Amino acid sequence: MADSETGGLAAKVLTCSDGVIHGTREDRSGVAVAELLANAGYEILERRVVADGVENVAEALREMATGFNGVIITTGGTGFGPRDLTPEGTRLVIEREAPGIAEATRLVNPLGRLSRGIAGTLGTALIINTPGSPKGTVECTEAVLDVIPHVIRLMSSAPTDH
């Protein structure tokens, strides 16, 4: 359940946004989801911002997942805009998809039907795509917050109750 360095729940946040990279938008969604995770007991080990795009997202996720046991929440790039390519970048790197987690994030709000986000594992990291709005990323993360620790324990081969 823990990153080996922290002894507790560990999380990283990746904001995927051309606007934030170019300084035309503030990273409110990355701040909001990091705050939610911190309040839920996670140690935020990293917050990173990358430009939209398949390779940018894939490269950042590979780097962030290396040697990491915890959850990586991405925010942004899950819609239908021409540069909304976070799911495609995520799909390049995940080893196992977690469709139930992605489906649960879409059920929290009628606009969830517009999210193309996916979830899956890379090594011992669980990656979950969420929308780029502060409200959307928080709602989607809250929808699966209860199961994340169990997934992390299973990936780390820690004993579980089942």
Q: Is the pTM of this model over 0.75?
A: yes
| Rounded average pLDDT over 4-13 | 73
Quote the tokens at residue 141.
Answer: 């993360």
Domain ranges of the chain: 10-155
Q: In this structure, which amino acid lies at residue 64?
A: M
Tell me how far apart the alpha carbons of residues 126 and 102 are, in angstroms, rounded to a whole number. 12
Residue 12 has pLDDT above 90, yes or no: yes
Residues 85 and 140 sit within 8 Å (Cβ to Cβ):
no
| Per-residue confidence (pLDDT) for residue 158, from 0 to 100 | 57
pLDDT at 4: 40
The helix or strand, by DSSP H or E, that contains position 10, with its residue range, turns out to be: strand 10-16
- Count H helices, E strands: the chain? 7, 6
Whether residue 36 is predicted with pLDDT greater than 50 in this model: the reply is yes
Instruction: Give the domain 10-155 fold.
Output: Molybdenum Cofactor Biosythetic Enzyme; Chain A (3.40.980)
Please, what is the average pLDDT of the chain?
Answer: 93
